[in-house]
Structure 1
Amino acid sequence: MTDLALPEPIAAYFAAEHNPQELAHCFTGQAVMKDDGHTYRGVPAILAFMASASAKYSATSVPFALEREGGLQVVRARVTGKFPGSPLDLSYRFRLERGLIASLEIAA
């Protein structure tokens, strides 16, 4: 991955990006994820989206920057896969709660 000192749940998220069972342990039960204009609520919906996206795009994310914005951890990552414009640098805006991801918004 990288030499960034990512908070544990964020490091676990990137390490498990193609493993839905591991991803499930990264989120709170009521987590909300926003990506590509859609909102996914709860772990089952998030995992279904992630599994579908993984199969469709075979994307790999490599974090390269981390900063704080208010109560959020913002990670910039280079995403490479089978999609137009690959590779892209995306922002992952994480809100952590009790050592887990409570919300995640992914945007260009």
Structure 2
Amino acid sequence: MKLPKVVADLIDAQYHFNPDAYAACFSETALVHDEGHAYVGREEIKRWISKANSEYNTVMKPLSFEETEGGSLLTAEVSGTFPGSPVVLKFYLQIADGLITSLKIAG
């Protein structure tokens, strides 16, 4: 499956539990929505993913990727040490200038 470089980098950063590399995939003012919370900016995104990694050891296996009118959609199997693992989640992305500007994670 053909993925934009920033999406491939995001998946790789998650696979290696690297919050610095994960946050570097986002613009300085990026917005992430996950489980009813919003995280704004690289530093907040880095803290969020670092905490999630330490609690859940989450890895993503991409299942499909498509460009839509409103942005991009990555569907991935997410597994880790959380109840119900694995689950299939949808990652709605906005990408500009090679960086993620918005990410909404939904079940």
**Fold similarity call, TM over 0.5:** yes
Q: 2:20, 2:80 → 1: CA distance?
A: 21
2:80 aligned with 1:81: yes
| Shift, 1:24, TM fit | 2.5
Q: Secondary structure at the match of 1:63?
A: strand
Aligned to 1:50: 49
Deviations 1:52-92 (A, max 9, x none): 00000011110010112213110000011111111000000
Aligned to 1:60: 59
2:12 aligned with 1:12: no
Q: How many residues align?
A: 105
> What percent of counterpart residues are identical?
35
Q: Secondary structure at the match of 1:101?
A: strand
Range 38-47 or range 61-70, more displaced: 61-70
- How well do the aligned residues superpose, as a CA RMSD in angstroms? 0.8
The runs of 5 or more residues in structure 1 that have no matched partner are none
The runs of 5 or more residues in structure 2 that have no matched partner are none
Q: 1:5, 1:68 → 2: CA distance?
A: 11
Q: With structure 1 as the length reference, what TM-score do the two structures score?
A: 0.93
Runs of 4+ in structure 1 over 2 Å off: none
| Shift, 1:43, TM fit | 0.5
Amino acid at match of 1:37: G
Q: 1:58, 1:70 → 2: CA distance?
A: 33
Aligned to 2:95: 96
